[in-house]
Structure 1
Amino acid sequence: MKKNIVSTMTVLAVSALVSVSSASANEKLSVAATPVPAAEILEFMTSQMAEQGVDLQVHVFTDFIQPNQQVVEKQIDMNCFQHKPHLDSFNENESQNLVPQGYTYILPLGAYSTKIKSLDELKKGASVAIPSDTTNGARALLLLQKEGLIKLKDPEDLFATSRDVVDNPKRLKFVELEAATIPRVMSDVDLAVINTNYALDANLNPKRDSLFMEDTDSPYANLCASREDNKDREAIKKLNEVWQSPETLKFIEEKYQGTVIPVKPK
């Protein structure tokens, strides 16, 4: 009996060692992401990545600046938080060469208000908060143009600024703020154009709460990005595959109820 107990304990000990050894042998992949929905989705994906032999480590940031800087400085392997125009703008302004990896989802930009319930109530001289970064600011202006509130010098300019507004019949006053802060100042402005990741983080649902939002054919599909020197890592390829797995797609559909729209690989 004693011999059997010793044998059983030996088997369990060996199994535990094998388990620990296997876990420690997993390749580590660090990813920077904004809280909602990117980090939430990535956290859901960790178990699938572990099955693929990858220890996925998610680092959460609340701004649009640090995720790229951390990758450039080799503090983090890659990021998943931005769309292609934002990545292009960063590369150009910072003389960097971060490269796109897999495309993930579309987060339709929406306009919200605590003061009005329809655009008909928007008065002349109303204040409109828009993101201060170049690409999301332009995106907000394009959305306002689509709703007939303004006209831009080039109606398709993905890098337009408020200086490019050539027609503003309601004499709207643009308040340019860091994108993450806009939900917190909604009560101080008449209209706030908010990125969906920050809207969801503030318990705002673009389908339910916005006065208007982008169409699902928006060109602003989010993506993951990495440095040139690790773009072909097997762990990154596995991450791209897991983004498109049936389990991940089901999680996105059930959790976000159509406010986060997965995109097919490009």
Structure 2
Amino acid sequence: MKPTFSRFLLPLAATFFLLGGAQAQALKVGASAGVHADTMEAAAREARKQGLDVKVIEFTDWTTPNTALQAGDLDLNYFQHQAFLDNAIKERGYKFAVAGVGVLPNIGLFSHRIKKFEELKDGAKVAVASDPVNQGRGLSLLEKAGLIKLREGAGLRGSVNDIVANPRKLKFVEVEGPQLVRAIDDVDLAQGIPAHFVSAGKPQVASSGLLYTGVADRLFAIRFVTRQDNVNDPRVKKFVKVFQESKAVRDEISRLFGGDARLYSLPWLNQ
């Protein structure tokens, strides 16, 4: 009996070793610096309490998180909404899949120089996002404010080239999304994401927008994105579940949005 026992013991021990090694491997999550990375850190702390090790990697641009995911340097990223993701897949051919839905941030129109749109002078400088998807969202908000008119059918996909009426001869400055928070100091009006102002230590600015988008637009909720061949990874599913169900994470989200519930929503609760 002893030889038989030892013959099966070694493979069994090896199996446990391999499983333990797989479980010990940290889930690598990429997020844009600021509110998204801070939210992921909160979720990572909760995940560790449940035995899932998570490493959060911050990025300062909106290109590298996808290239890093495609290269296998990340298991998951959290920085983009569905429209941005669709555009990235179309342009780069990424084999990505959505593993879950995160926070829906509002965007707004902000200014240090005017208190209402009527005060905007002819030829004023207006900052909008340089990437095509977020630029369309900002221009749609400017159209809602009555400042411009877009080509019929442009909608949220519109660009500065789709402006067909600009009665105040506004001058548009295209700025990379993460830098819009700084642009407000150099222009008369700027598209912005309130959470970025909170992250920059300016919660009062986040809550002082002249106009906001609605908080029910699920298309612009931040997505958990992974590769198609990794979407069923149990670690990915567990992390998304921790994020969506943890009270500590929701409390951190509220803090990161300056405690202002007008500036975000949790769309997975209304599925």
> TM-score over 0.5 for the alignment?
yes
Match of 2:267 among 232, 238, 263: 263
Q: Give 1:180-195 correspondences, 5 Å limit.
A: 180-195=178-193
Offset, 1:23: 10
- The farther-off stretch of 161-170 and 195-204 is 195-204
SS in structure 1 opposite 2:191? strand
C-alpha separation in 1, matches of 2:185 and 2:58: 27
Which residue of structure 2 aligns with residue 117 of structure 1? 115
Aligned to 2:239: 239
The amino acid that maps onto 1:263 is P
Aligned-residue offset at 1:54:
1.4
Aligned-residue CA RMSD (Å)? 2.0
**Aligned partners of 1:23, 1:119: CA distance in 2, in Å?**
59
Structure 1: tracts of 5 or more residues without a match: 1-21
1:97-153 per-position Cα deviation (integer Å, ceiling 9, x unaligned):
211121111110111111111111111111100010011111111111111111111
Runs of 4+ with deviation above 6 angstroms: none
Q: Which stretch shifts more, 220-229 or 41-50?
A: 41-50
Scaled by the length of structure 1, what TM-score is found? 0.85
In the other structure, the counterpart of 1:13 is none
Q: Distance in 1 between matches of 2:202 and 2:146?
A: 24
Secondary structure at the counterpart of residue 103 of structure 2: strand
Deviation string, structure 1 residues 180-236 (Cα, Å, up to 9, x no partner): 222223222111111334333223336522121111122311111001111110011
Q: Which residue of 2 aligns with 1:102?
A: 100
Give me the whole-angstrom Cα distance separating, in 2, the residues matched to 1:66 and 1:255: 24
How has the CA–CA distance of structure 1 residues 207 and 198 changed in structure 2, closer, same or farther, with 3 Å as cutoff? Answer: closer
Corresponding residue of 1:221: 221
Structure 1 position 25, deviation (Å): 4.6
1:7-33 CA distance string (max 9 Å, x none):
xxxxxxxxxxxxxxx899534210110
Q: Partners in 1 of 2:119 and 2:176 — Cα distance?
A: 26
User: Does the 8 Å CA contact 1:27/1:235 hold for their aligned counterparts?
Assistant: no
| Residue aligning to 1:253 | 254
Count of matched residue pairs: 245
Aligned pair partner of 2:165 in 142, 156, 167: 167
Q: CA deviation at 1:36?
A: 2.3
Q: Could you report, residue by residue, the CA deviation over 1:32-51 in whole angstroms, capped at 9, with x for unpaired residues?
A: 10122111111112232123
Deviates more, 1:108-117 or 1:77-86: 108-117
TM-score normalized with structure 2 length: 0.84
Secondary structure of residue in 1 paired with 2:98? strand
Change in CA separation of 1:112 and 1:179 when aligned onto 2, cut-off 3 Å: same
**2:225 partner SS:** strand
Local SS of the residue matching 1:187: coil
Q: 2:40 aligns with which of 39, 42, 52?
A: 42
What is the letter of the counterpart of residue 217 of structure 1?
Answer: A
